[in-house]
Amino acid sequence: MEVVDVNAHLHTPYSFSAFDSVSQAVEMAAAQNVKVVGINDFYSMDGYADWDRECRARKLYPLFNIEFISLNSEDQAAGVRVNDPNNPGRTYISGKGLAFPVKLAGEPAAQLSAVKKESNLQVAAMCEKVAKLFADAGVEFGWDEASIREKLTKGSLRERHLAKAIRLAVARLFPDAEAQKAFYEKIFGGKALKSDIAAEAKVENEIRGNLLKAGGAAFVPETPEAFLPMSTVRDIILAAGGIPTYPFLADDAKGGFTDFEGDLEKAAATLKERGFYSTEFITTRNSVEVLERYAQYLWDQGFVVTLGSEHNTPAMEPIKLACRGGVDLTDNLKRLNYWGACIVAAHQKLVADGFQGYLDAQGRPDLKYRDKFILMGDRIIKEAIK
């Protein structure tokens, strides 16, 4: 079986992204010979039609995914950091291979809509604080929720959109770099900007860290309604036809792990207990040695494994995957990633056609069919990209 390159986790402007458009993302993938690409926006399936059209036009195979931030109250009470290194219990969850055309309806659709609205409201409240902060400094911010939503988003209002609006406002108000730095220092509460003004992505990251995160002058804490329970998120993904997927952080730049992920054997067992049989990694976070060990162990334990790059920051990175430091993926990692993508491709095709996919009605896989799903997905992908 010929293995082709896969990037199974890419954010688009339908949430927040390094890309200006879906077409830019897909064009870059084609240019880098990445043949299978997965849209993976926060709380949104709105980009699926664009993703499908742009991928098909370039003979790429599209995967239809989604991402949530959930809360596990048991882990929160125990102080266990899961895959958010700063917030115990807070857990990022992806859904892979959702049905397209979208089939989500009823209570699960209402739950998704409600949590998306709550997330937007938090950013809108921070926007009001930013406007007052600018006004207190004697200048006009020039942005409000409506204008940010209209000019910088495709519906989902994220914290990073507000950071971008702040950077654009400061550049408009203070054309001189030194004046911009002075203003940032003022609204950062006396903390100097470290980045070069021309390094837009880094400036926006500093804006988020100094102004929009806890302790910053424009910070607004999320309400409990902004986080659905992990089990509810799993149910929504299943209702949308997808495969609930746990995104591993694995090792950080200092070789550290979260409380949940440090014991891989225990983490894998707990994920199965919670009804998760699919995992993913954002490869640039990890050393190739750790990624190889974690991915292979999880595959051997019966998990689907896929890899991606996110691209949910302003920084533009390659779509062709690499590990931390630009280290190439091993042939084994490429193979596991492709096999995982084949399973997802077969699953989403079956579900879209009204049949049972990789998971049964309880959301569990029957591993004796795993190889058949790989072969089916390989045929589906190869037919689309030939």
- Between 106-136 and 230-239, two packed helices, what is the crossing angle to 10 degrees? 120
| pLDDT per residue as tens digits for the range 265-277 | 999 999 999 999 9
DSSP state of 79: T
Distance CA 149, CA 11 (A): 17
Q: Look at residue 225 in the predicted model and tell me its pLDDT.
A: 79
Q: Look at residue 153 in the predicted model and tell me its pLDDT.
A: 85
Average pLDDT (54-58) is 97
Q: Look at residue 215 in the predicted model and tell me its pLDDT.
A: 86
Of the listed ranges 142-146, 340-344, 355-359, the least confidently predicted one is: 142-146
Is the pTM above the cut of 0.85? yes
Of the listed ranges 219-223, 247-251, 324-328, 347-351, the least confidently predicted one is: 219-223
DSSP state of 195: S
CATH code, 5-103+240-385? 3.20.20.140
3 state DSSP class of 333: helix
Q: Which of 314, 271, 357 is nearest to 97 (CA)?
A: 357
Distance CA 341, CA 146 (A): 38
74 burial via Cβ count (<10 Å: 0-12, 13-18, 19+) = exposed
Residue labelled with tokens 């280290």: 327
301 burial via Cβ count (<10 Å: 0-12, 13-18, 19+) = middle
Q: Which of 107, 113, 119, 198 is nearest to 160 (CA)?
A: 119
With contact defined as beta carbons under 8 Å apart, do 359 and 319 qualify? no
| pLDDT per residue as tens digits for the range 72-129 | 999 999 999 999 998 899 999 999 999 999 999 999 999 999 988 888 888 889 999 9
Sequence ranges of the chain with CATH classification 3.20.20.140: 5-103+240-385
Please, what is the average pLDDT of the chain?
A: 94
Helices assigned H by DSSP within 301-359 = 331-352
Average pLDDT (39-60) is 96
Q: Look at residue 79 in the predicted model and tell me its pLDDT.
A: 95
Q: Look at residue 221 in the predicted model and tell me its pLDDT.
A: 81
Please name the residues in contact with 28: beta carbons below 8 A apart, sequence gap of 6 or more: 19, 319
Average pLDDT (305-329) is 94
Q: Look at residue 170 in the predicted model and tell me its pLDDT.
A: 96
Q: Which of 248, 275, 249, 230 is nearest to 68 (CA)?
A: 230
Q: What is the DSSP string of 203-257?
A: HHHHHIIIIISTTSTT--PPPGGGSEEHHHHHHHHHHTT-EEEEEE----TTS--
Phi first, then psi: give them for residue 65, nearest 5 degrees.
-125, 175
Please name the residues in contact with 36: beta carbons below 8 A apart, sequence gap of 6 or more: 4, 5, 6, 7, 8, 60, 61, 63, 338, 341, 345, 381, 385
Measured between its terminal Cα atoms, the distance across the chain in Å is 14
Helices assigned H by DSSP within the chain = 22-31, 48-57, 73-78, 106-136, 145-152, 159-173, 177-187, 200-207, 230-239, 264-273, 288-300, 331-352, 370-385
Q: Look at residue 116 in the predicted model and tell me its pLDDT.
A: 87
Residue labelled with tokens 């998971």: 359
| pLDDT per residue as tens digits for the range 124-162 | 899 999 999 999 999 999 999 889 988 888 877 888 999
Q: Which of 274, 273, 239 is nearest to 110 (CA)?
A: 239
Q: Which of 110, 193, 208, 206 is nearest to 158 (CA)?
A: 208
Q: Look at residue 4 in the predicted model and tell me its pLDDT.
A: 98
Phi first, then psi: give them for residue 218, nearest 5 degrees.
-110, 10
Q: Which of 64, 153, 134 is nearest to 103 (CA)?
A: 64
Distance CA 8, CA 64 (A): 9
With contact defined as beta carbons under 8 Å apart, do 320 and 30 qualify? no
Percent of the chain predicted with pLDDT > 90? 85
| pLDDT per residue as tens digits for the range 164-181 | 999 999 999 998 999 999
DSSP H or E stretch at residue 10: strand 5-10
| pLDDT per residue as tens digits for the range 212-238 | 888 899 988 877 777 899 999 999 999
| pLDDT per residue as tens digits for the range 10-46 | 999 998 888 989 999 999 999 999 999 999 999 999 9
